[in-house]
Amino acid sequence: MSTVYYALFHCLARCCADTLVGKTLRGSRAWNLAYRSLSHGRAREACSQKYLVRSFPREIQDFADLLVDLQKERHAADYDSAQFFFKSNVEGHLRNAQAAVERFEASDIRHRRQFAAHVLFRERQ
């Protein structure tokens, strides 16, 4: 379960760095800074803001919803010793994650860039 969640998390971190710094600068200090700036708590918080997430296309909404759900599953898998998972359930989560990543990465770059800003930056009042 951890690996399934981390696939989505790292997809989002890569999106943040690629769309805000640029794919051609992968490996640069700026790209690495953008990539590493995404935190698990902030990703969950931003993806849980339904009123804002609903302004994005369905592919991004679905990705955000799944990231939140899989983070809960990861916490259960990693921190609850009484929790267990059936292989078939984990495989189902993996298929869902693969499909969500493919749809997310195929979505318009302008929307992914806006989503990257949404998950990395907090609004000031």
What is the pTM for the complete model shown? 0.93
Q: What is the pLDDT of residue 95?
A: 97
CA–CA separation, 1 and 22 (whole Å): 30
Spans in the chain with pLDDT lower than 70: none
Q: What is the pLDDT of residue 34?
A: 97
Half-sphere exposure of 79 (CA within 13 A, CB side): 6
Q: What is the pLDDT of residue 84?
A: 86
CA–CA separation, 12 and 115 (whole Å): 9
Q: What is the pLDDT of residue 83?
A: 85
CA–CA separation, 71 and 62 (whole Å): 14
Let me know: does 67 contact 114? Beta carbons within 8 Å.
no
pLDDT tens-digit profile of 56-92?
999 999 999 999 999 999 999 889 888 888 999 999 9
Let me know: does 63 contact 103? Beta carbons within 8 Å.
yes
**What tokens does 82 get?**
């009484």
